[in-house]
Structure 1
Amino acid sequence: MIEELPHPVILISEDDQVVKFNPYFKELLVRIPKGGCEVSAIFEEWKYFSDQKIATGHLAEKKYMFLKINGYTGEDSYRVYIGHETAFLDGLTKHVKEVEKINRALDAIIENSYDGIYITDREGITLKTNSAIERITGIPKEYYIGKSVDRLIKRGILSSSVTHKVVKQRRTVSVVQENYAGKETLITGSPVFNEDGEIDRVVTNIRDLSDLNDLLDELTKVNQLNSKYKKEIEKLRNIPSRDRIIFASEKMKSIEEIIDRIADVDATVLLLGETGVGKDVLARMIYTGSNRSVKGEFIKINCGAIPPDLLESELFGYETGAFTGASQKGKPGMFELADGGILFLDEIGELPLPLQVKLLRAIQEREIQRIGGTKPKKFDVRIVSATNRNLKEMVRKGEFREDLYYRLHVIPITIPPLRERRDDILPLIDFFLQNTNDRYNLQKKLDSYVKDFFFRYDWPGNVREMLNLIERLVLTTSNETLTIEDLPSDHKELYLSDCACQSNPLSLKEAVELAEKKVLTQAVQKYHTTYEIAEALESSQATIVRKLKKYEIKSNELTR
């Protein structure tokens, strides 16, 4: 047997004499001894280690390590050694160390994973877990080792086996289940294939969803809070979104199309129209529809609401000590604050002539100079202005500079009053009524007579008057349904006068219904029960109840 080994083998006597060696050993010898000789005569260097169980020696300029074969003494108690080239052993040792290093790194990764890691063979026998599984399940990780998933299911630790599903389907499988500790977990099992394409291992990842669910709840709360804050900020800044612009008329549709076309250009815009038609809303539409809404702010200044001696400092700002009472830090003007955005000059027709000169220069040169300052400041601002006055007539009278007028008049947009776009009245009424109800948690509504009156009313104060009137009616009346009787006296007189002057007077039925509704509305305010009303009006209680229901007349104080 020794003769056939592919390694050098040598037999050594008790006194270190070479007794015999195999052919492989013989090939390594430079010279072959004729008779018995000592080991040192063959090897350049021969050393024993560990009580002669290991020895080393050099053959053919290579170092060999010889291991004593246990349990074999040979003839006359000879020691038998089998040799291996140390270069091979050194490489093998290095490879083993590298594998051990990789295993340690892999163990560290598995152990430090926040998710639970659970590794089984294809039969479902647990081979390895990590500490995270203790946190998720409340069971020590050592408990799982060596146990099958079937046993864990029987003990109630697992509700089902992902491992068996992975082996059966030969693919990654994910399930959501509640574990032994009552926690909702996401369990994902993945197959590991060997070189023959068979499943060798199943690696299962266990993620505690309770943390994710808590984060999702927190995120939902934050989003709701952000939405609330956004609405409050928009309310404070009075910046409506584009879909809050309510209209149904072709005239306003044309204006919206113009605004869409000119929103992203930098030409000046002049908004014309009566008081309350919504010029400031359209100015903000231009801002929100342009790329300036992400570059800068929308800054509004009412040229008619600020005293002329303060208006200049508000527009252009001032330096430290520019005048008595000035801030010690100075103050930026509206042009600086609106840099990158839009400066909305409301009531531009009220701007004093001296300031018109400075405004014209600022627009032309794209720079301003603070009061008390010596250096000009460049700005990037789009100018949108608005007025309810006839600027062309003011130019003719010398009340407004002609050159400034043409600077502002590049894109004029005239907003018609409500009386010229009646198709917008009812949609606006519905919007303002719903908005006011939502704000105050109410459910008020208008009866058909009020809506008809509102539609025919000329609204001299336009949209602003409509908003104020609806809010006043909602907050100051007790009935759920608002009637003609709830209108302010001046509006009520207009309604009655309008009814009297109509070319098509009310039918007898309509007149009777109107009279009945008026009488019943007054009665519920005076009496406390339907029986008292019936007695006062000389009618039956059942009729009174039916009529109140018909006309939707309610009172919080009225009982049956």
Structure 2
Amino acid sequence: MIPTEIVEQIPLPAVILNKDGAVLAYNQQVEAAGLLTKGSDINEVFSRWETDLDSKMRTAVGENGKRFVFMQGSWPDTENTLLIGTETAELSALKNENKQLKKLTRELDAIIENSYDGIYITDHTGVTWKTNSAIERITGIPKEYYVGKHVDALMKRGILKSSVTEKVVQQRRTVSVVQDNYAGKETLITGAPVLNEEGEVEKVVTNIRDLSDLNELQTELSKVNELNDKYKRELDLLKNKPERLDGIVIHSESMRRIYDTADRIANIDATVFILGETGVGKDILAQHIYSHSLRSKQGDFIKINCGAIPPDLLESELFGYESGAFTGANRKGKPGMFEMADRGVLFLDEIAELPLMLQVKLLRVLQENEIQRIGGTKPRTIDVRIIAATNRNVKEMVATGEFREDLYYRLNVLPMAIPPLKERRDDIIPLQQFFLNQANEKYQMNKVIDSKLKDFFYNHEWPGNLRELSNLIERLVVTTPEDEIKVEHLPPEYKESSQTAISQAAIVSLKEAVETTEAQVLALAVEKYDNTYDLAEALETSQPTIVRKLKKYNLNCKKGVESS
């Protein structure tokens, strides 16, 4: 008889049958499931057994309705049968878990195999357990060679110069080394530990990255970027098309040369002196130089108009002041424009308006790269590029003693003179269209300018330059009721100039020239005379003719168009 205590040592439901199928023994798990009880009738017990398709497996239903699956085997050294079972729900869970584990294993194998980097996995002793195909590309040795090999054998063959696995096991952390393999390729080898529940290193996963490929790619990328920058500079220098730079249109040859020069000196930290009439775009050029320089990534573009701030306040604005420097001063003091522009650019507009006393302090800044706040005792070192601008003749001011000669030469290192708009008429029509588009977008309109008005724009002298052109176009867009803006919509102060512009316009047919001149004469006349009779007398024609002509050109006398 088999002792019951031996069956009790089996951790799962277990039953022992003799060769005739009679129950010899069973354990507590069987009794707890309600499958068998002491003194149970054997026939009744077997009546509850269900034969499975597989004769090696049987199912049984307990008193609580739970189903169990029993695997059939033989008891050692006897003719008896051993049945070991488990609950079917647990078995299903085990099957599902096993299926999931197989799926995860396939996915992990696919990830390892398709990695661009070489991967090999060793146990804690250094014996290779698994690797991928990338290692063959890197070392030239089939991956099958590594499996079962100790890292010491790989070092002896020269495939490895040192063992990362050994270092990982010793230090119990990720270790990286850079070394050349036997083929002369530079590789980055990184080993990471896999720890067991006791915190001991169980396996080491090593990643091998071929740095030579990356180095070659980096070199090629640098060459491509250099070529790209070169081609971009060359394209920017092409002179067969208009360009739009920093919000302004550049079309004339003179302005192209100026902006080409600006690009070349953008990263030269010498002082720039921009000369030009009011409204020619000196501040736009200064911002272009800043935005195309490395300083745009290091510091700010600070602008100050030296003529717009009272002289007694200008010094504190430029150089700042310490706490208590003067009555009303901020208790914490205040940094000046020079400090705010540190590592960037300070644009001194209307530099000719700078008082002589401040000219001396500015000269010291340019010579020593230091400033001192008002009320301060220690100088502060600054790194500021100065761009100055003026619309005055500074040479004449030097001659008359209004501007320091030494400061003038300090500022005039890189002089750039922007010509007035009347000297670069090729820019006028593109600028006119640019400003028109801006105004249309701003006021949500769709105005257009007719050809005669464009002729006026082209021939006008523009004493206010870009600023005047921009303001006039915005004014016309807002005040003109029709969608098409014409010469007659010009403000009164431009009417006389428009007469000259028409006479200088491009060649047209005689009929069109006569009509244009006729309309201009009538437009001037209606401003002077109150009625069509006076008009007819002044223009030496009949009153009915004047009435007809005014209707034709959509003009009105101050007292209206009288009928003939």
Query: TM class, shorter-chain normalised?
Result: 0.5 to 0.7
TM-superposed deviation, 1:490: 2.4
Distance of 2:305 and 2:258 partners within structure 1: 23
Q: Which residue of 1 aligns with 2:270?
A: 267
Q: Are residues 241 and 380 of structure 1, via their aligned partners in 2, closer, same or farther at CA, if it must alter by over 3 Å?
A: farther
The aligned residue for residue 447 of structure 1 is: 450
Report the equivalent of 2:250: 247
Structure 2 unmatched runs, 5+: 27-72, 78-89, 105-242, 527-543, 555-564
User: Which letter does structure 1 place at the counterpart of 2:397?
Assistant: M
Alignment of 1:331-342 (within 5 A): 331-342=334-345
Q: CA deviation at 1:267?
A: 1.2
Distance 2:9 2:502 in 1: 127
Alpha-carbon distance, 1:510 to partner:
2.5
Pick the aligned partner of 1:313 from 294, 302, 316. 316
CA–CA separation in structure 2 for the residues paired with 1:366 and 1:106: 71
Secondary structure at the residue paired with 1:246?
Answer: strand
Deviation, 1:54, is 4.6
1:72 corresponds to 2:75: no
Using the TM superposition, give the Cα deviation of residue 406 of structure 1 relative to its aligned residue in structure 2, in angstroms: 1.7
Of the three residues 75, 78, 90, the one matched with 1:82 is: 75
What residue is the counterpart of 2:433 in the other structure?
A: 430
Structure-2 separation of matches of 1:260 and 1:311:
31
Aligned equivalent of 1:460: 463
SS in 2 for 1:472: helix
Query: Structure 2: how far apart are the matches of 1:259 and 1:54?
Result: 95
Cα shift readout 1:372-403 (whole Å, capped 9, x = no counterpart): 11222222211111011122222222221222
Q: Which residue of 1 aligns with 2:147?
A: none
| Match for residue 483 of structure 1 among 486, 491, 494 | 486
**Residues in 1 aligned to 2:314 and 2:485: alpha-carbon distance in whole angstroms:** 44
- The reply to whether residue 323 of structure 1 matches residue 336 of structure 2 is no
Residues 367 and 100 of structure 1, relative CA distance in 2, 3 Å threshold: farther
Q: Deviations over 1:54-95 (max 9, x none)?
A: 569xxxxxxxx9x764242699x89997249xxxxxxxxxxx
Separation in 2 of the partners of 1:102 and 1:340?
66
Match of 2:418 in 1: 415
Deviation at 1:105, TM superposition (A): 13
**Structure 2: how far apart are the matches of 1:459 and 1:325?**
45
Deviation readout 1:458-506 (Å, 9 max, x if unpaired):
1111111111111111112212222221112221112225556999898
In 2, are the aligned partners of 1:499 and 1:505 still within 8 Å (CA)?
no
Separation of aligned partners in 1, 2:505 and 2:359? 49
2:464 maps to amino acid: G
What residue number does 2:379 align with? 376
The aligned runs of 1:212-291 (5 Å cut-off) are: 242=245, 244-291=247-294
1:296 maps onto 2:243 in alignment: no
CA distance in 1, matches of 2:425, 2:389: 23
| Cα shift at 1:357 | 0.8
Amino acid at match of 1:269: V
What secondary structure does 1:270 align onto? strand
2:354 pairs with 1:351: yes
How far apart, CA to CA, are the structure 1 residues paired with 2:473 and 2:96? Answer: 77
- Post-superposition Cα deviations, 1:154-179, rounded to whole Å, max 9, x if no partner, equal xxxxxxxxxxxxxxxxxxxxxxxxxx
Query: Which residue does 1:21 correspond to in 2?
Result: none
Assess if the C-alpha contact under 8 Å between 2:455 and 2:502 holds in 1: no
- CA drift of 1:278 comes to 0.4
TM-score by length of structure 2 reads 0.53
Opposite residue 364 of structure 1, the aligned amino acid is Q
8 Å CA contact retained: 2:301, 2:341 = yes
Distance 2:427 2:278 in 1: 17
In structure 2, what is the Cα distance between the partners aligned to 1:311 and 1:102? 82
Between the aligned partners of 1:384 and 1:481, the Cα distance in structure 2 is: 42
Q: Would the aligned equivalents of 2:4 and 2:25 in 1 still touch at CA under 8 Å? A: no
What is the one-letter code of the residue matched to 2:362?
L
- SS in structure 2 opposite 1:332? coil
**Is this contact kept in 2: 1:242–1:288, CA < 8 A?**
no
What RMSD, in angstroms, separates the aligned Cα atoms of the two structures? 4.5
Query: In structure 1, what is the Cα distance between the partners aligned to 2:364 and 2:442?
Result: 45
Identical columns (%): 52
Deviation string, structure 1 residues 291-332 (Cα, Å, up to 9, x no partner):
211211111000111111100000000111111111222111
Residues of 2 paired with 1:102 and 1:264: CA distance?
A: 68
Aligned to 2:390: 387
Distance in 1, matches of 2:244 and 2:96, equals: 59
Contact 2:304 2:348 in 1 (8 A): yes
| C-alpha separation in 1, matches of 2:384 and 2:244 | 21
Letter in 2 for 1:347: E
AA in 2 matched with 1:320: S
- Secondary structure in 1 aligned to 2:75? strand
- TM-score, length of structure 1 as denominator length: 0.53
How many Å separate the matches in 2 of 1:101 and 1:325? 85
Aligned residue pairs total: 342
- The answer as to whether partners of 2:456 and 2:502 remain within 8 angstroms in 1 is no
Aligned partner of 2:497 among 490, 494, 510:
494
Structure 1 residues 69, 398: CA separation in 2 closer, same or farther (over 3 Å shift)?
same
